[in-house]
Structure 1
């Protein structure tokens, strides 16, 4: 059993906020678990995946900016960098503007892992969505703009 199913008959008894909150974690974990299993991908913690996504989207990034972007403490980003550097996922290279500082770069291995994860995740979601009735797929599609806007509001 991958995730609890929201009770649609009791929508009025349980707030939208509570239902959404109860679904987000299990949904995210189910996608990660099934994607990793389908592709034989390593069990990277979500924080490492988030840092990789951030680094793949940029050429180079100072650790302090990565911490700010991910909204984590400097000590957290330092621990992530140390672990991910040891695993060959992140490289520290000298800054072109400050010889004493280093910037972070996603390694080629990390870029390939993330691309594999994205391909497997998209395929798994495509297959899972195809199992839903067409009306439910349309409802999910119509909810995407609202979920994107919610993410913007939560990120502020």
Structure 2
């Protein structure tokens, strides 16, 4: 068994299974890139588009398109910079923060139910793997060139 191949094959179906729990609760079906941007904004509080692009390791034009879509949906608030008219400050709207909280509660509840149904040794193996998965994420992010996230 090749660990990288098997892990890669499981990532998509695992992600989609978690996303289905959101849909079953009637939550909006946002693309993952939009959710990632909202999470960056929620964590940062207020941030410029350039800072958001750097944190996401995404091209500024990609982030600009995400911001435009999320602003239209009422999920991102843009405030012009008082010192530079070409710059805006972004924040996640209260609607976005509530939605992220509902996403997290729904996903966490579904994962807890699924984990409870596993054999104890499988749950323990997953728990022990969490630090390694965090390390893997760090290694993958270090490899990805900016603008390719």
Report if TM-score (shorter chain) is over 0.5: yes
2:121 to 135, 146, 150: 135
Report how far residue 35 of structure 1 moved: 2.7
Higher Rg of the two aligned structures? 1
Report how far residue 36 of structure 1 moved: 2.7
Query: Which whole-Å deviations, capped at 9, do the CAs of 1:39-78 have from their partners, x for residues lacking one?
Result: 2100100001000110000111110111121122111111
Report how far residue 97 of structure 1 moved: 4.5
User: Paired residues, what number?
Assistant: 142
Report how far residue 96 of structure 1 moved: 4.8
Kept in 2: contact 1:51–1:70 (CA 8 A):
yes
Kept in 1: contact 2:76–2:96 (CA 8 A):
yes
Kept in 1: contact 2:22–2:29 (CA 8 A):
no
Kept in 1: contact 2:81–2:87 (CA 8 A):
yes
Q: For structure 2, list consecutive stretches of 5 or more residues without a partner in the other structure.
A: 143-149
Alignment RMSD, CA only? 1.2
Q: For structure 1, list consecutive stretches of 5 or more residues without a partner in the other structure.
A: 1-10
TM normalised by structure 1 equals 0.86
Kept in 1: contact 2:21–2:106 (CA 8 A):
no
Report how far residue 152 of structure 1 moved: 1.1
Q: How does 1:1-156 map to 2 (within 5 A)?
A: 11=1, 15-37=2-24, 39-156=25-142
Matched residues in 2 for 1:118 and 1:44: separation?
A: 14
Matched residues in 1 for 2:9 and 2:78: separation?
A: 38
TM normalised by structure 2 equals 0.90
Matched residues in 1 for 2:105 and 2:82: separation?
A: 34
